[in-house]
Structure 1
C-alpha cells in the first residue's frame, strides 16, 4: 500500500492540541520534553486551552510537536510514508517523516524558525509597520504579479491553487490594491487572521540565521517523493551529488521563509506530473493507495481535493483517530 502523508502549516493549530497524544501514547514523552525544554512556556499554553497557541513563537513548535508525535507512533507500528507534502512549517515534519532529520532535531529547527520569525514580527511593529495577508480568489499568479509590481511593500506569499493566491505586506498597501484586484476580476478577497507578512523579504536577516541553525543538524538524503515549497523542486535528484542535495535541502528550507509557498505546483508534481518511466499523467491520481493528513484541522485534504478524489483519505487529529487508524491498518 503506497501512502502519502500530508502536514498542515500555520493556521492548522488548535488550543490543547497534542495533550491527548501525550496522555495516550507515553512513548512520545521524550519529544514533548524536547519541545518544552526549548520553549518552557509552551506546556502551559497547551494545557490552558489558550488562544496564545496562535502566537508564532508557540504555533510553529506546537505544530511540529503534534506532527512528530503522531508520525513517531505510526513509524513504531510499521506505517511509513512513501511520499509527503507540507505547507510552510508543515514541510519540516514532512521531511522528518521521510527520514531527512530526526524528529528531535526537526523540533529544534522548527523552534528556532518560530523564534526568529516572532522576533522579526515584534521589530516590525516597533518600527511602525502594520502588516497583513489577503487571500485573492479568482485571479492567477501572473495577473496578480503584474498589479503588485508598483508596490514596494507587497509580495506574493502563497500559491495555493491556480486561482487562489495570497499576498502579503503593509495593511495600507493591501487596502489600495484590493480595489485594483476586484477591478481586474478577483471573485473574492479575504483578509487572513495572521501576525504579519509571512514568506516575504522582511525576514531576510532571519533566513540567514535559520540557515546557520539548519546546518548544525545532520541530515540524510531520501529517495522518497517530496517537492519543496520554495521552488517545487524534488527532494531527490539522481543527477545531483549527495553533497549538493544536502546543501539544497538546507538552503531551500531556509529560503522558504522569504519566498512564496508554491504549494499548488508541489501538489501538481506530486500527484500528476510524472516522468515517462512512471504512470501516465492522466492516471497518476491512482498512484497512491492512501492519503494520511496529520493536522489538528482538516486543511490539507481540502487544498488537495482535486488530486484526492480517487484516493481514500484519513485525517489524524487526535489520539482517538490515531488508535482507530492503527487498528484499521492492523486489520487490513
Structure 2
C-alpha cells in the first residue's frame, strides 16, 4: 500500500516575503503568526514579510521563521493526514508538530532556545561548514577522520543530503585542510558555505546541553505517525526516543539520504514538502526518481 510522507525544510530555505501570502489570505494563519510574535517577544512576522536577507540570516530569526512558515502552511492544508513525517535538521521540529508530538507553542519555544544556544556555541570558536560534491561518502568520511587524527582539528560529515552531495562541519582550519584534500581526491567542488558555525558537529556540544534541559522539561505526546529522525534514519514512534534523538541531532549528522531511502523502503511513494523553497523536493528526486514529489508553501 502506497504511503504519503510530509517533509519539512531547515535553515537556508528562508527568503524575504516568506509566509506573507498565508498571513494575508488565512485568518487562522494570521492568528498563529500573531501568537508567535507574542511568544518570541518580537514581531518576527514583519522580518519574514519585509526583512532584508541579512536580517533573515541571523540564526535567532532564521530558525523560528522557517519553522513558522512550515508549520502554519501545514495547518492550512485541509485534511492533511501523513503516514510518516521527516524534517531536515531544524525541520524535524516542524515534523513533530505535524505528527502531534509537540504543540505549536512548545515547538516554537524549543526552536527559539535551540537557535539562541547554537548562536552562542558559534561565538565560542571560529567554525564553519563546506559542501563536497561528487565524491563518495566513504571517501569523505575517510578524509575527515584523517584530518582530525593528524591535526587535532574538528572535521566531520554533517549533512548527507543526497548521493554526491555531502556537507562537512568543523573548525575553520580543519575545514580548509579537508577541502584541499577533497579536491585532490577528485571532488568536483569543496566549497566553504556562508554559515555562522559548525552545525551538527562536536563543536555544538555547549548548545546541546542547553537544548537538552529544555527538551527534558517539555511535554512530548506519543506521535500520531512515525517520524524518520535525522540521527537514526529510521521510523521512530516513541516520545522518549524522539527526545533523545532530537538532542543528539545537534552534534550528530543529518542522514537525509538514508532517511528518504528508509521511508521509500517502508512504502512511501508520495512526498510533500511543506514550507519555504523546494530544496527537499530536489534532493528527494536525486535519492529516488521513482517517487512523486509536490510542495506546499
The structure in which a higher percent of residues are strand is 2
128, 134, 148: which is aligned to 1:132?
A: 128
Match of 1:320 in 2: none
Which of 264, 289, 292 in structure 2 is aligned with 1:309? 289
Task: Give the length in aligned residue pairs.
Answer: 289
Preserved CA contact (<8 Å) 1:225 1:270: no
1:222 corresponding residue in structure 2: 223
- Residue 46 and residue 161 in structure 1: after superposition, are their counterparts in 2 closer, same or farther (change >3 A)? closer
Partner of 1:255: 248
**Counterpart check, 1:143 vs 2:139:** yes
2:251 is the counterpart of 1:266: no
Q: Which runs of no fewer than 5 residues in structure 1 stay unpaired?
A: 237-244, 275-283, 318-332
What's the counterpart of residue 53 of structure 1? 56
Question: Equivalents in 1 of 2:294, 2:137: separation in Å?
Answer: 31
Distance 2:287 2:257 in 1: 11
Whole-Å Cα distance in 1 between the matches of residues 187 and 290 of structure 2? 30
**Please, which moves more after superposition, 88-97 or 213-222?**
213-222
Contact 1:35–1:108, Cα closer than 8 Å, also in 2: no
Aligned to 1:96: 97
TM-score, structure 2 normalization: 0.90
Separation in 1, partners of 2:262, 2:109: 29
Answering whether residue 207 of structure 2 is matched by residue 211 of structure 1, we say no
Matched position secondary structure for 2:37: helix
Distance in 1, Cα, partners of 2:156 & 2:24: 42
Aligned to 1:159: 160
- Give the superposition deviation at 1:63: 0.8
Deviation for aligned residue 1:207 = 0.8
Residues 278-319 of structure 1: CA distance to partner in whole angstroms, max 9, x if unpaired?
xxxxxx5xx43x4221131110011100456344432122xx
Task: Give CA deviations for 1:161-213 in whole Å, capped at 9, x if unaligned.
Answer: 23321111222322222221122221222222211111111121211211111
CA distance in 2, matches of 1:113, 1:64: 12
Further displaced range: 47-56 or 302-311: 302-311
Gaps of 5+ in 2: none
Distance 1:215 1:29, change over 3 A: farther
Alignment TM-score, normalising by the size of structure 1:
0.81
Which residue is equivalent to 1:194?
195
- Classify the secondary structure of the residue corresponding to 1:88: coil
Partner of 2:276: 296
The runs of at least 4 consecutive aligned structure 1 residues that moved more than 3 Å come to: 306-312
Higher radius of gyration, 1 or 2: 1
C-alpha separation in 2, matches of 1:307 and 1:154: 25
Task: Rate the CA distance shift 1:136–1:71 in 2: closer, same or farther, 3 A.
Answer: same
From the superposition, tell whether residues 66 and 55 of structure 1 become closer, same or farther in structure 2 (CA, over 3 Å): same
Q: Residue 73 of structure 2 corresponds to which residue in structure 1?
A: 70
Partner of 2:4: 3
CA distance in 1 between counterparts of 2:289 and 2:141 reads: 31
Verify the 8 A CA contact 1:31 1:104 in the aligned structure 2. no
Which of 242, 246, 250 does residue 239 from structure 2 map onto? 246
1:4–1:83 contact (8 Å) kept in structure 2 = yes
